[in-house]
Amino acid sequence: MAFYAPGQLLSPNLSPSLSSRTRKSTNATPSASSSAIKCDLSSTPNPQSFKSLSKTLAFSTATGFLFHLSSIPSLISPTCNGTGAGNGDFSGGGDGGGGGWNGGHGDEGFWSRLFSPAAIAKEEESPSQEWDSHGLPANIVVQLSKLSGFKKYKVSDIQFFDRRRWTTVGTEDSFFEMVSLRSGGIYTKAHLQKELESLATCGMFEKVDLEGKTKPDGTLGITISFTESTWQSADTFRCINVGLLPQSKQIEMDADMTDKEKFEYFKSQEKDYRRRIERARPCLLPLPVHREVLGMLREQGKVSARMLQRIRDRVQKWYHDEGYACAQVVNFGNLNTKEVVCEVVEGDITQLVIQFQDKLGNVCEGNTQLAVVRRELPKQLRQGHVFNIEAGKQALRNINSLALFFNIEVNPRPDEKNEGGIIVEIKLKELEQKTAEVSTEWSIVPGRQGRPTLASIQPSGTVSFEHRNLKGLNRSILGSVTTSNFLNPQDDLAFKLEYVHPHLDGVYDPRNCTFRASCFNSRKLSPVFIGGPGVDEVPPIWVDRAGFKANITESFTRQSKFTYGVVMEEITTRDESSHISPNGQRQLPSGGISTDGPPTTLSGTGVDRLAFAQANITRDNTKFVNGAVVGERDVFQLDQGLGIGSKFPFFNRHQLTLTRFIQLKEVEEGAGKPPPPVLVFHGHYGGCVGDLPSYDAFTLGGPYSVRGYNMGELGACRNILELAGELRIPVKNTHVYAFVEHGNDLGSSKDVKGNPTEFYRRMGHGSSYGVGVKLGLVRAEYAVDHNAGTGAVFFRFGERF
């Protein structure tokens, strides 16, 4: 089956262990009554199946997110070749369930079963024909013991009756959630007895009774009458972390102990408890919440069961809000003293297990070395730390970014050997190591008369292969060849072969260096040989690059990195008809084409070979504030010629880009909150000293240079300065923006050989301003070209900065 139970992801099976503890504590301090039920996180009590299902549901809201991440790809497209493993939509943790619904498309039965307990009850009970009528006269009160043990009663109505207040309490009362019975459910006498027993032992009630009332239609109305437990008032509150504390010994209280013995017994119990409190570690609960609870205690004179429930809810809420998904209030101790002690199991991690699974979910030996995975884990997931769901998410994200696994689960489960402990299990399903792919397509090319001819139908496509995770160290080789015509591949062949070697300093070194080597080729239209405004069509020049590149990337943070390496390449400049073209071209008014333009290459032959060193350092501390980018980004890029190649090119080509995203208003962060208005400043300086072939000249104009102009429309120059400002105002779910930009060649166009700026009659500088709106990925903007004074509407993909 393709479905995947999300509950298995994070299922701290805490209830059993906790309930045993509570039993103990009830005994240990007779005054301290505590709760088994309290420890269930689930707020929707179920009939029968409650116990088994509540565990899986317990974290469903919290895990929905994880589920979202890890298993959706495998669910939606089980055949997807793995690159999509966790497409990394990290936002929207709030609606975790959403992913699940999508995933379970074909298995509605399962999901509905999982999410609606009533349905399960029905399903479990229904096979043997509905329910039995009580067979008694209507409207009489029946004690529980008087009910028949063989009948299945249908409960049509449940009421709570508070004996102390002498009122019936509604379903909104906090006690109600402790009862797993639901109206409409079908129960046997044994069920009802068990329910009563669990209510009686939970410590919340001094006395609790269950009565049935017969209804005319054969169903049963149930009234639970109770007396709430109360203790003397307290004025201090203490919260302790009892996780991993060894069980205190259970000394059964003998029924026929003398008073003295009893006194001794209680005394030793108290001593034990005090020691326990002392040994307990301080808990994470912050003082503000602490004070809040204290306020609650002071407000109400007596400590009542409801009161404790509220305290429990408050404390647990804080823990769960902060992501401590495994934290539980397990007990209230020291009741009937001046102090209320809230015992919390915070979820200390006792073990971290990394496990590989095969496609069927069986544990298997993985190819990946564990250290590769381990270095991606935040240290908060290691032994001795408190489990936090955020750490789990981070682990998921980090592991996912390795792109080695198609399914990742981070699964905290209770440690059976170590009470209150959590074992974090990381279950990984590895992607196929070797993949190869051939995709083909036929493109029909218009022929002479615009009609496709047989000869012009070309088979095109891509052949690619990938060998991932070599030696289990995440090294990979990948290659691809793309051509638009397989019959004549030399016409237009794009290839790429890349080797990636991460953890250059060894897997255990904290430095994160990656070595990359690649062979590549590319073909681009040169923006240098572009006409200025009003110039007739300039015959295009294509710049073909083919070469080899090797570099080392050192990542400092997720976004900041330093890359350095060497590039060796051959550059060929071609005209429209793929002939090598050593000079730029110009259309003459007579219709002819003159090839007396600026030289395209350094060598003057149309083919350059050169080797140079390249370095790039990026400092990026931008972050998202409600979806708006805020922060700073600095990039310095350097190409240093080494004097190797045609005409011994020696040059220093450098670019510095500074971008500032300034948040103009403090906003509250959180999902669904509006983003702040942001002011963006952008400056780009580029310069080149030494040999500068045309294909390396800086070009002015274009969506990433000066908006409102075409690529290269303003010129090609040796030194470049671009300045831009943009104001982004959030509107609804998107933002509108206004911008001003200026680009200038600093008079350096004439320092490019052949002065292509002048040759194609371009200005060499230009400004623009305009407004735009972001529509999803597309930017729609109206930009006014300041040189001509005319405006136009543009649609662009992606961000400018």
Partner 1 sequence: MASHLTREWAGIQQFPAATLAKLLELMGKLKQENVSSLTILVMGKGGVGKSSTVNSIIGERVVAVSAFQSEGPRPVMVSRSRAGFTLNIIDTPGLVEGGYVNDQALEIIKRFLLNKTIDVLLYVDRLDAYRVDNLDRQVIKAITDSFGKGIWRRGLVVLTHAQLSPPDGLNYDDFFSRRSEALLKVVRLGARIKKQEFQMVDRVSLLERHHEALECNMDDFSSIMLGLRESLKLFAYTKKQAATMPMLEIAVSINDSAIPVVLVENSGRCNKNDGDEKILPNGTAWIPNLMEIITDVVSNGSKAIVVDQKLIEGPNPNDRGKFLIPFILAFQYFFVVKRIQRAIKDDISKESKPLWELRDMGLANRDF
Q: Using CA atoms, how far apart are residues 119 and 113, in angstroms rounded to an integer?
A: 6
Q: Is 617 in the site for partner 1 (CB under 8 A)?
A: yes
Segment interacting with partner 1 (CB under 8 A) among 230-238, 244-252, 614-622, 726-734: 614-622
Query: Which residue of 691, 696, 713, 785 would you call a contact of partner 1, by CB under 8 A?
Result: 691
The least distance separating partner 1 from the CB of residue 288, rounded to whole angstroms, comes to 8
Query: Which residue of 255, 287, 454, 455 would you call a contact of partner 1, by CB under 8 A?
Result: 287
Closer by beta carbon to partner 1, 686 or else 708: 686
Which of 667, 647, 660 lies closest to 621, judged by CA?
Answer: 660
The least distance separating partner 1 from the CB of residue 702, rounded to whole angstroms, comes to 24
Closer by beta carbon to partner 1, 546 or else 638: 638
Segment interacting with partner 1 (CB under 8 A) among 17-25, 130-138, 190-198, 554-562: 554-562
Segment interacting with partner 1 (CB under 8 A) among 42-50, 63-71, 299-307, 630-638: 630-638
The least distance separating partner 1 from the CB of residue 182, rounded to whole angstroms, comes to 36
The least distance separating partner 1 from the CB of residue 625, rounded to whole angstroms, comes to 12
Which of 695, 718, 796, 725 lies closest to 764, judged by CA?
Answer: 718
H helix count then E strand count, the chain: 14, 37
Closer by beta carbon to partner 1, 648 or else 795: 648
| Tally of CA atoms within 13 A in the half-sphere of 418 that contains its CB | 15
Closer by beta carbon to partner 1, 102 or else 383: 383
Closer by beta carbon to partner 1, 402 or else 692: 692
Residues 357-396 that bind partner 1 (CB under 8 A): 378, 380, 385-386, 388, 390-391
Query: Which residue of 689, 731, 775, 793 would you call a contact of partner 1, by CB under 8 A?
Result: 689
Segment interacting with partner 1 (CB under 8 A) among 62-70, 77-85, 210-218, 645-653: 645-653
Point out which residues pair with 372 in neighbouring strands: none
Closer by beta carbon to partner 1, 113 or else 750: 750
The least distance separating partner 1 from the CB of residue 287, rounded to whole angstroms, comes to 5
Query: Which residue of 88, 596, 679, 793 would you call a contact of partner 1, by CB under 8 A?
Result: 596
Q: Is 589 in the site for partner 1 (CB under 8 A)?
A: yes
The least distance separating partner 1 from the CB of residue 544, rounded to whole angstroms, comes to 22
> Which residues have C-beta within 8 Å of that of residue 254, sequence separation ≥ 6?
261
The least distance separating partner 1 from the CB of residue 556, rounded to whole angstroms, comes to 5
Residues 323-362 that bind partner 1 (CB under 8 A): 323-324
Q: Is 651 in the site for partner 1 (CB under 8 A)?
A: yes
Closer by beta carbon to partner 1, 285 or else 340: 285
Query: Which residue of 520, 542, 636, 681 would you call a contact of partner 1, by CB under 8 A?
Result: 636
Q: Which two tokens stand for residue 354?
A: 């990394």
Instruction: Return the amino acid letter for 151.
Output: K
Q: Is 177 in the site for partner 1 (CB under 8 A)?
A: no
Residues 307-326 that bind partner 1 (CB under 8 A): 322-324
Helices 50-58 and 117-125, axial angle in degrees (round to 10): 150
Point out which residues pair with 742 in neighbouring strands: 723, 767
Q: How many CB atoms neighbour CB 568 within 10 A? A: 17
Residues 710-749 that bind partner 1 (CB under 8 A): 718
The least distance separating partner 1 from the CB of residue 93, rounded to whole angstroms, comes to 13
Point out which residues pair with 479 in neighbouring strands: 465, 497
Q: Is 634 in the site for partner 1 (CB under 8 A)?
A: yes
Helices 50-58 and 14-28, axial angle in degrees (round to 10): 110
Taking CA atoms, 373 is separated from 19, 205, 321, 426, 503, in Å, by 36, 50, 28, 10, 12
106-115 long-range CB contacts below 8 Å, 24 or more apart? 106/2, 106/3, 107/1, 107/2, 107/3, 110/1, 110/3, 110/5, 111/3, 114/5, 114/7, 114/53, 114/56, 114/57
Q: Is 682 in the site for partner 1 (CB under 8 A)?
A: no
Which of 753, 740, 726, 734 lies closest to 786, judged by CA?
Answer: 740
Closer by beta carbon to partner 1, 497 or else 788: 788
Q: Is 285 in the site for partner 1 (CB under 8 A)?
A: yes
Segment interacting with partner 1 (CB under 8 A) among 209-217, 462-470, 491-499, 589-597: 589-597
> What is the residue-wise DSSP string for 62-130?
HHHHHHHHHTHHHHH-TTS-STTSS------GGGHHHHHHHHTGGGHHHHHHHH-HHHHHHHHHGGGTS
Which of 278, 269, 266 lies closest to 248, judged by CA?
Answer: 269
Q: Using CA atoms, how far apart are residues 664 and 729, in angstroms rounded to an integer?
A: 10
Q: Is 27 in the site for partner 1 (CB under 8 A)?
A: no
Q: Using CA atoms, how far apart are residues 521 and 547, in angstroms rounded to an integer?
A: 6
Q: Is 497 in the site for partner 1 (CB under 8 A)?
A: no
CB-CB contact of 661 with 629 (8 Å): yes
Point out which residues pair with 635 in neighbouring strands: 618, 657
Query: Which residue of 91, 488, 557, 578 would you call a contact of partner 1, by CB under 8 A?
Result: 557
Query: Which residue of 169, 284, 667, 746 would you call a contact of partner 1, by CB under 8 A?
Result: 284
Q: Using CA atoms, how far apart are residues 72 and 89, in angstroms rounded to an integer?
A: 11
Segment interacting with partner 1 (CB under 8 A) among 130-138, 571-579, 584-592, 720-728: 584-592
Point out which residues pair with 67 in neighbouring strands: none
Q: Is 292 in the site for partner 1 (CB under 8 A)?
A: no
Q: Is 91 in the site for partner 1 (CB under 8 A)?
A: no
Residues lying near partner 1 in the complex (CB under 8 A) are found at 282, 284-288, 290, 322-324, 378, 380, 385-386, 388, 390-391, 556-557, 560, 562, 588-590, 594, 596, 602, 615, 617, 619, 621, 634, 636, 638, 640, 650-652, 654, 656, 689-692, 718, 750-753, 759
